[in-house]
Homo-oligomer: A and B are copies of this chain.
Amino acid sequence: MAKETKISMAVIRRLPKYHRYLGELLRKDIDRISSKELSERIGFTASQIRQDLNCFGDFGQQGYGYNVKDLYDQIGKILGLDKNYKTIIVGAGNIGQAVANYAKFESLGFHLQAIFDKNPKLIGIKIRDIEVKDVDCLDTYLKENPIDIGIICVPKEHAQMVADIMIKNGIKGIWNFAPTDLNAPDDVIVENVHLSESLMILSYRLNESELFKE
């Protein structure tokens, strides 16, 4: 199925959007779609859609288009959504709790195993039936329980330290909400969610367009 050439990040970033739109079509009981129709809904050019999908295989059929269910499943597979991942959250503050309670999370195959914090007020409380553990136990916990993905929701000052413990214990991916860049070896994937960067871009665009006058 997969072709040999390396897929560009530009393509990868569009995959979740394809997945989301195809999911919507599926719920609307639409069972086939052409690149042209999809283009009109999703806002990419039809040419780009065909080009993107062809990175991964021949999913379409000339004269017909794409089967929605098939394509949805294929893209889900490409994204690794057919797998299950054991995850932990470190940092049970606002963002940590929001992520823990984020419903879609489980349905995508990410299974929350444990939550850690260093605040005594948070240690022991339950979030989604999971008791918050002392972060001092993180290292020991990881040694006993292999975890795939670590989610970092601690302040930036402690983020690298937490990452180091995760990396040392064989974590494969880090979802980082701390507003800092983490050092990690090439075989550990780091994906950042930098909220303040997103907010700054909103602010920039607001001013650029001269819509905003104080």
Interface size class of A (residues with CB under 8 A): 35 or more
- Residue on B nearest A87 in the bound complex, by CB: B199
Q: What residues of B have a CB within 8 angstroms of the CB of A192 in the complex?
A: 198
- The verdict on A83 contacting chain B, using a C-beta distance below 8 Å, is yes
User: Do the beta carbons of A85 and B203 come within 8 Å of each other?
Assistant: yes
User: Do the beta carbons of B200 and A81 come within 8 Å of each other?
Assistant: yes
- Residue from B101, B172, B196 in contact with A16 in the complex, judged by beta carbons closer than 8 Å: B196
- The verdict on A211 contacting chain B, using a C-beta distance below 8 Å, is yes
- The verdict on A59 contacting chain B, using a C-beta distance below 8 Å, is no
Contact with B along A82-107 (1 / 0, CB 8 A): 01110000000111011101101100
Q: What residues of B have a CB within 8 angstroms of the CB of A208 in the complex?
A: 7
- The verdict on A20 contacting chain B, using a C-beta distance below 8 Å, is yes
Min C-beta distance of A72 to chain B, whole Å: 13
User: Do the beta carbons of A200 and B16 come within 8 Å of each other?
Assistant: yes
Q: How far is the CA of A94 from the CA of B204 in the complex (A)?
A: 27
Q: What residues of B have a CB within 8 angstroms of the CB of A206 in the complex?
A: 80, 85, 148-149, 172-173, 189
Show 11 A/B contacts (Cβ-Cβ < 8 Å), sorted by A: A15-B201, A15-B204, A79-B204, A93-B101, A94-B97, A99-B195, A108-B200, A172-B211, A172-B212, A173-B206, A191-B199
Given contacts A81-B200, A95-B98, 4 further A-B contacts (CB under 8 A): A95-B102, A98-B98, A187-B211, A191-B205
